[in-house]
Chain A
């Protein structure tokens, strides 16, 4: 799709006239802050490179199941009458506001890998409490990357997060609320500490 005439003409769009689905503000207000606001923001080399990897005709190899090519014709046909806003919404929904699961160990594993010992809040312990008050955790910067946190994170958290995400998605679909909004809320919950973590 990236090289279709329809997408190409998005490059000339007036971003101040497209309302961002996630932040409810014109895209132009985040033009610097956000690199890939629309599919046409990806480098021109992106789609052909991915296509060649899937076809096995590239010097770049995905050492796993690269899968099959997408059906450009049907994708294009389904979006024939779409407005730029609809393309933007789809991109926001599928990519911009999307999240993925980290490999085993999550962020603590990375902190351990890079031997992260102190952060901005290093001068004081940081206390987290679950919304129902039944769980709490005090982070001491000096133990942030300790074996203790690494082991405690094993297993459970991923399951809890995925369950929560699935529940939110289900509820929001039922309420006819947009999925990007649900994901945005999920992030907000996480940042506010309202969502109980596993510890």
Chain B
């Protein structure tokens, strides 16, 4: 029995009212999630006001209409522009930028620690085999990289990657990060591990005496840090920032390290991460009643290994077999190496991009999709659309096919 028996509408059974609510809230264009306001919005302000009128005029209807727009509409998610959406820390007020800085700084630090503990005998061949087995998509590269990290020359040497990590980093992937993290977890059982990790935190990580990106003694906090992929970070995730070293580190020649992140730029959370964050906060019952497709449009390159963010929506597809998600991606939108962040010198190469800058993100993206769509609990209900209308996209696809054929 509803609380307003004088109203003919509220004398109707709740099931009928729900149908009416859904009809009222439905729009053929669906609704869009707005990251900045954390609200679902209709296509136009006028439409939004119309569809919102009932909830504004009746408290009871407002209560009963919770999540109606979610189940009555197709929901579209776009990348979340992360600007002034958090406190300012080391000149960054972008939560996505701050998260990216932590991801890359911890990745560098973990590689540095791995060098020390591998040199010190904490990592056995069986451990390396175990990691390679757990991360098959990156297995061959992981083995090569592990040997090189242990040796140290390609990491810390005169022409080592530490000197130009801001360019090299885009070859890494979420799987590589995970493999690195897992190796250190396995190695941590060695009695000398803590001592060697502590030694790493006070040892330069390049040939010119540049110190690591975290303050001495913070190695345990760094080693423990490994947030899930494809999520909007919480304050707890970002708390590790208090262990970051001076943002303008200098080497023995007085040269400044490339700051993290590389340049002032607008950062984005991937549309997939935004969608996963939305679904996570939705009550279970509301998630299970979603009937219309969710559309995710990745129109920007996002922070934090965005190729891997499909992992974040997999649990919701498994939870609700009726859920349908359409994911739209593009070689030139989200699946491209962010070459514009590398260096001003690339301003001269205005018209060209290395094929590898497209191949790496695409190969990792396919591998992530392969992982969630196979195994004992493969996801159903996901369809992925790669933009293929632009001439350059057709050329990129041709290159991918060519690489596959060799």
Contacts and interface: CB of A to CB of B under 8 A. Distances in A.
Interface of A: 1-2, 11, 15, 29-36, 39-51, 53-54, 59-67, 70, 72, 75, 87, 90-91, 94-103, 106-108, 110-111, 113-121, 126, 128, 139, 144, 153, 157-158, 160-162, 165, 187, 190-191, 193, 195, 197-198
B370 A49 contact: yes
Contacts of A111: 340
B154 A107 contact: no
Nearest to B367: A43
A120 B171 contact: no
A95 B356 CA distance: 7
Nearest to B379: A59
Contact of B355 (A32, A99, A160, A187): A99
Nearest to A39: B406
A32 B363 contact: no
A101 B367 CA distance: 25
B351 A64 contact: no
A179 B40 CA distance: 53
A32 B148 contact: yes
**Residue from B349, B355, B390, B395 with most neighbouring chain A CB atoms (10 Å):** B349
Given A44-B137, A102-B351, A51 B399 contact: no
Contacts of B392: 100-103
B145 A32 contact: yes
15 contacts: A33-B168, A42-B404, A59-B382, A62-B397, A63-B387, A64-B387, A70-B405, A90-B406, A98-B355, A100-B352, A110-B340, A113-B300, A114-B338, A116-B263, A198-B350
Contacts of B161: 32-33
B12 to A, nearest CB: 41
B109 interface: no
A123 to B, nearest CB: 11
A47 B263 contact: no
Nearest first, the 5 A-B pairs at minimum CB distance are A64-B388, A32-B148, A45-B370, A70-B405, A43-B137
Contact of B351 (A53, A91, A101, A144): A101
A167 B231 CA distance: 48
Contacts of B366: 43, 45-46, 49-50, 60
Contacts of B344: 119-121, 126, 139, 144
Given A29-B154, A35-B171, A116-B340, A54 B145 contact: no
**Residue from B263, B346, B347, B401 with most neighbouring chain A CB atoms (10 Å):** B347
A116 B261 CA distance: 12
A190 B348 contact: yes
B203 interface: no
A185 B154 CA distance: 24
A36 B343 CA distance: 22
Nearest to A42: B363
B264 A47 contact: no
Contact of B406 (A63, A94, A193): A94
Interface residues of B, number: 77
Chain B contact residues, majority secondary structure:
helix
Contact of A118 (B148, B264, B405): B264
Given A45-B370, A60-B384, A95-B403, A117 B264 contact: yes
Given A65-B388, A102-B350, 20 more contacts: A32-B154, A39-B406, A42-B363, A43-B366, A45-B367, A50-B400, A62-B397, A67-B398, A70-B405, A95-B406, A100-B355, A101-B351, A101-B395, A107-B346, A108-B350, A114-B265, A117-B264, A119-B343, A191-B349, A195-B348
Interface string B329-363: 00010000011110111111111111110111001
Contacts of A60: 366, 369, 383-384, 386
B348 A96 contact: no
A30 to B, nearest CB: 7
Contacts of A33: 154, 161, 168, 171
B140 interface: yes
B402 interface: yes
B382 A103 contact: no
A158 B392 CA distance: 12
Contacts of B144: 15, 31-32
A135 B147 CA distance: 48
B68 interface: no
B402 A94 contact: yes
**Residue from B258, B356, B364 with most neighbouring chain A CB atoms (10 Å):** B356
A157 to B, nearest CB: 5
A72 B155 CA distance: 38
A197 B136 CA distance: 44
A63 B389 contact: yes
A74 to B, nearest CB: 10
